[in-house]
Amino acid sequence: MSGRLFASPMFLGFDHLEQMLERASKGTSDGYPPYNIEQISPTALRITLAVAGFVMDDLQITQEDNQLVIRGRQTDDSQGRIFLHRGIAARQFQKAFVLAEGIEVGSAWLDNGLLHIDLLRPEPEVRVRRIEITQGRGGLGVSEIGVPKQRAPRVVRVIEEE
């Protein structure tokens, strides 16, 4: 078995998820800034990052595909100041969180050095589909070089059940 996370033949079509996990793991992993993730209701989560010293203009939150990316970049305001000890450094960071399908960013706010981001997880909708099996040859058809063959469209009945 290879070192791939979703190498099992039972995981079909998860290669995009593996790529997202790889992207998220490449983000900074030094633990800065510290953060909490809490469940605030059965359908809502909250990420809280400790970003003391950052103002709203120093922070950026984006959603890239199914990845929530939080970036912080402080401007260096030390010009003309003489530090006897500097323990609070102007430091940049990037944190990435992989979001499950359907999770949406609800709101974000900065309060007393804490950045809060609420995520909403809609109630899962249970769908059952019965796929009708037809006699004869079917499928999409793929040529020897992996390019789909052009075929006349087939009618397939999908029966939705409640």
CATH number of the domain encompassing residue 68? 2.60.40.790
Structure tokens at 73: 């970049």
Q: Is residue 146 assigned to a domain?
A: no
Residue 111 phi/psi, 5-degree rounding, is -145, 115
Residues of the domain holding 74: 28-120
Residue at 142 is within a domain: no
In a domain, 12, yes or no: no
More confident residue, 22 or 100: 100
User: Would 67 be classed as within a structural domain?
Assistant: yes
- 1 or 138, greater pLDDT: 138
Q: Is residue 95 part of a domain?
A: yes
pLDDT digits (tens, 9 = 90+) for 34-83: 999 999 999 999 999 999 889 999 999 999 888 899 999 987 777 888 98
Q: Compute the mean pLDDT over every residue in the chain, rounded to the nearest whole number.
A: 81
Interacting residues of 128 by C-beta distance below 8 A, sequence separation 6+: 161
The pTM of the full predicted model, rounded to 2 decimals, is 0.64
* pLDDT tens by residue, 114-137: 999 999 988 877 889 898 888 887
Total count of domains within the chain: 1
